[in-house]
Chains A and B, each alone.
Chain A
Amino acid sequence: MTAFMDRPPEDASSTDEALMLAFRDGDHRAFQLLYERHRGPLFRFLLGSVGEHATAEELFQDTWMRLVDARQRYRVKARFTTYLYRIAQNRLIDHYRAKRPTERIDPEDGRYGATTESSGPAAAPEREQSLIAMHRAIAALPLEQRTAFLLRNAQDLSLEEIATITGVGRETVKSRLRYALNKLRAALGGIYGPVA
């Protein structure tokens, strides 16, 4: 008899870690709950990192499939979020390695989602223009700073968790965040005022 059968079925109030353990032991419903919970935040992280919807979808799908494939090796050593984003971060690194090393995301080329492509500045409402400006400013950040910023602000992860995901020390994460925020302040100060 599997461990899953010995436990009560997981529901929406279960922790991420309990859901992942239940999925590991054969509970597909637990995976659905996990997926619903992290679908949006993870996709936005990847989209913010690569700036292209199609590429983000590809990395997003690959991240979840790797999670599925690695389920039997899953042990609760940290928050599930750290585990999931570590997989995503590894996929991002693979993605950037596969690209030409000199290629950078051009914040002016409108690749940050279809919305920016279809919305000319003259026709866009004020709020949308602000969002576009923010996306472009984030896309203009160096990769390491962009990753740290997205994990910290979009996913609300701790410095330690970001350090674990990105494989660097806590102080390095702090430094990257400080640089990222300074650049965003400089780019968006005229629109938002001081950036937190």
Chain B
Amino acid sequence: MDQSPDPASNREALPGETVDRAILDYAERALHDEHRTSPFWIWPVSAAAALAICVGLFSQIANFVAPPTVVIMAPGSSAEPGLPPAPAVGADLDPVSSGALGDPTEQLIEQLRAARSADDPQRFATVLAHAEARGIELSLDRDLRDWAVRHGLASAQP
């Protein structure tokens, strides 16, 4: 008796070629789509974006929980206990709070020079008091110091 497999039976006991092709194509397409939608740079970019979102959200939450306060100081008041009352100064005397760029010490010196040029001891004293209130130590040059001494605004010792 012939024991070789019956060709007709074998053919019927296997899926058709169309089915084979469909399955293999499906698998290949799945892998292709996976790589196309996940390029190598997507993770760093995604991580950076996620971090930025987290930071933004955190900032929003922090602002919501503790909104930033704006303190408007009345003339003569002081924001910090223990400090002498801040002088009533205009925005032009406060380069830091007015948003001016540069070294605040240099800005104050410039304002002292301006007061010296205008021969305005009151204005000079205001700038000095302002510097002291802010804890800024000013080093006056000889001309300014002599002028201040003359008007009783500084001691003769440097």
Contact = CB atoms under 8 A, between A and B. Distances in A.
B partners with A: yes
Interface of A: 23, 26, 28, 31-32, 35, 39-40, 43-44, 47, 53, 56-57, 60-61, 64-65, 68-69, 71, 113-115, 127-128, 131
Contacts of B1: 127
Contact of A60 (B19, B28, B31): B19
A60 to B, nearest CB: 5
Nearest to A64: B23
Interface residues of B, number: 22
For A44, A56, A61, A131, the residue with the greatest tally of chain B CB atoms inside 10 Å of its CB is A61
A61 B15 contact: yes
A39 B30 CA distance: 19
B103 interface: no
10 contacts: A31-B24, A31-B28, A35-B23, A56-B15, A61-B22, A61-B23, A68-B23, A113-B9, A127-B1, A127-B6
B13 A65 contact: no
Contacts of B9: 113, 115, 128, 131
The B interface is mostly helix, strand or loop, or mixed, namely helix
Nearest to A48: B13
A60 B22 CA distance: 11
B13 A23 contact: no
A72 to B, nearest CB: 8
Interface of B: 1-2, 6, 8-9, 12-16, 19-20, 22-24, 26-28, 30-31, 34-35
Contact of B12 (A23, A28, A68, A114): A114
